[in-house]
Structure 1
Amino acid sequence: MQDQLWFEPLVWTDYRLALLFAVLFPLILLIWAFVQKNETIQHLLTIYWRVSSLLAVTVYLMIAAVPLSFISGLMARVLIPIALWFWVDLNEEINDQSRTPLKLAFNSWRWAMTVYSALGALASLPFLQCAISQTALNTRFCRVWFDPPLLFKQYFHANTSVRFLGFLGVVGLLVYVACLSYFVLVKLSKQGRSATQQ
């Protein structure tokens, strides 16, 4: 049995926190905003789900041990806080809303997600070598990041091949990059920082 690396428990903790902050809380908030008919928070959370889908893509890439997964994971942590704070019109509308439990919960989650993403991005920088060096990728230093996604595979894709899941991850990444490129090169110049401008 291999000796456990000192940061291995932190890797598992990171995945658990991601499940909590990136999936569970925003899902609850989206349902809550829908019930309360708060269209502004619904809109911002819809944008969040689009951007954070890169985290799901990263999990599938990591199941197949694709080196690019370390870059996509870092990019997700950078893009998520940008998506949460970029839109001037949505920020103003949220600030102008009366104080409600939903607004408090949403803003608390938004700040927590921002801090979590920023710390995660900084912590992932040393692991970028795993994306550019096959030698590094084959070490326990890098492969420890693949353990939680492989456990996810056991639970949800037990009878699916690793190569097929990796293929889905690559296709998802290509679609994501195409959509992001279209937004940056075409839509951003037209709508600026207004999420509601068509």
Structure 2
Amino acid sequence: MANEVWFRPLVWIDYRLAVLFTVIIPLILLIWAFVQKAEAIQRLLIIYWRVSSLLAISVYLMIGGFGVSFISGPMARILIPISLWFWIDLNDEIEYTQSGILKLIFTSWRWAVSVYCALGALATLPFLGCAFSANAFATPYCRVWAEAPLMFKDYFHPNSKPGFLGFLGIVGLIVYVVCLSYFVLIKLGKQGRSATQQ
């Protein structure tokens, strides 16, 4: 049983930290940036939300019992820090034109979420095998990661079947991969590391 898995408390701590660092704090910062009219921070946070949507997609994939969630989750943790530090123009604007408590808290969060994501990506490497075998996914070693997503389902989708939510996750993943591929293969070559260049 999943209750017998020794690292179960650590998995739950990870999900709680994920909610704090990747949902609650950036949502507060985005609202604050709009109120303060801090355009560079707004733009970077909007990019962050687009990229981090892969985490939400991974939750729905996990609910549906799709092993690919063990790949998409770590990929999200790799892409998030890249999205926060990649843009030279936004980095410069935040560094040299922003000031005050918003900049301090935003910068602190940016470093904190980057470290959290990097450590999280490393910590999930031993579980990549769960992605490639239905039998492996069914073991307590892998199923412990589905406990929090299933609780999320019970709270927010009590009348939906896991298979349907998993299907939504697959559709979301396809759209995400298409958009990311378009950006990397076409748009990136035109705009480089400038978020404002069209």
- TM-score, normalized by the shorter chain, greater than 0.5: yes
Distance 1:65 1:171 in 2: 15
Amino acid at match of 1:111: W
Deviation per CA, 1:94-124, whole angstroms, max 9, x where unpaired?
Answer: 1102530000000000000000000000000
The equivalent residue for 2:87 is: 87
Amino acid at match of 2:72: S
Query: Is 1:119–2:119 an aligned residue pair?
Result: yes
Amino acid at match of 1:182: Y
Give the conservation status (yes or no) of the 8 Å contact 2:5–2:141: yes
Output the aligned Cα RMSD: 1.0
Once the two structures are TM-superposed, the CA of residue 30 in structure 1 deviates from its matched residue by 0.3
Query: SS at the partner of 1:117?
Result: helix
Q: So what's the TM-score if we normalise by structure 1?
A: 0.98
Distance 2:153 2:167 in 1: 14
Q: 1:109 to 1:141 in 2, by over 3 A?
A: same
The equivalent residue for 2:195 is: 195
1:38-53 equivalences in 2 (<5 Å):
38-53=38-53
The equivalent residue for 2:74 is: 74
Matched length? 198
The equivalent residue for 2:59 is: 59
Query: Is 1:148–2:148 an aligned residue pair?
Result: yes
Distance 1:153 1:168 in 2: 13
Amino acid at match of 2:107: N
Amino acid at match of 2:47: I
4+ long deviations beyond 2 Å: 1-4
Amino acid at match of 1:104: L
What residue ranges of structure 1 are gaps of 5+ in the alignment? none
The equivalent residue for 2:164 is: 164
The equivalent residue for 2:25 is: 25
Deviation per CA, 1:44-91, whole angstroms, max 9, x where unpaired?
Answer: 000000000000000000001100000000100000000000000000
Give the conservation status (yes or no) of the 8 Å contact 2:51–2:83: yes
The equivalent residue for 1:174 is: 174
Once the two structures are TM-superposed, the CA of residue 2 in structure 1 deviates from its matched residue by 5.7
The equivalent residue for 1:129 is: 129
The equivalent residue for 1:183 is: 183
Once the two structures are TM-superposed, the CA of residue 4 in structure 1 deviates from its matched residue by 2.3
Query: SS at the partner of 2:4?
Result: coil
The equivalent residue for 2:36 is: 36
Distance 1:157 1:126 in 2: 30
Once the two structures are TM-superposed, the CA of residue 25 in structure 1 deviates from its matched residue by 0.2
Give the conservation status (yes or no) of the 8 Å contact 2:54–2:76: yes
Q: So what's the TM-score if we normalise by structure 2?
A: 0.98
Q: 1:53 to 1:98 in 2, by over 3 A?
A: closer
Amino acid at match of 1:35: V
Distance 1:65 1:146 in 2: 8
Amino acid at match of 1:196: T
